[in-house]
Amino acid sequence: MQITQTEENEKVVLSIDGKLDTITAPELENTLMNVLKETVNIELDCKKLLYISSAGLRVLLWGAKQAKSKNGAITLKNVSPDVMNIFELTGFDSVLDFN
């Protein structure tokens, strides 16, 4: 997995390329921890996200809770139908914010 970080309109955009699973979830968690020190509005561009496991879901939930506790938000955009299906099957589509 590769994470690319850019800034747009007072928010940080993290583009995720590859699979978000047990092996790569800690990398996203570390990135979110660092970004949340600077800003509370984060957008995850999931255009190139191929797969997400329960470990990846856990990191997204953790990050969303951290941002919300600071009056911010993590928003996901460009989620493929296959990955969105995982969010729907697990109920995360009603917990996370999608754009």
Ordered by start, the domain boundaries in the chain are 2-98
What is the pTM assigned to this prediction? 0.93
Tokens of 86: 């995982």
CB atoms within 10 A of CB 30: 12
Residue (of 90, 12, 17) closest to 58 by Cα position: 90
Query: For 58-94, how does the pLDDT look when each residue is reduced to its tens digit (9 = 90+)?
Result: 999 999 999 999 999 999 999 999 999 999 999 999 9
CATH class of 2-98: alpha beta
Mean pLDDT, the chain, as a whole number? 97
Strand partners, 44: 14, 76
Q: What percent of the chain has pLDDT over 70?
A: 100
Mean pLDDT for the stretch of residues 11-27: 98
DSSP 36-57: HHH-SEEEEEEEEEEEE-HHHH
CA angle 20/62/85 to nearest 5° reads 45
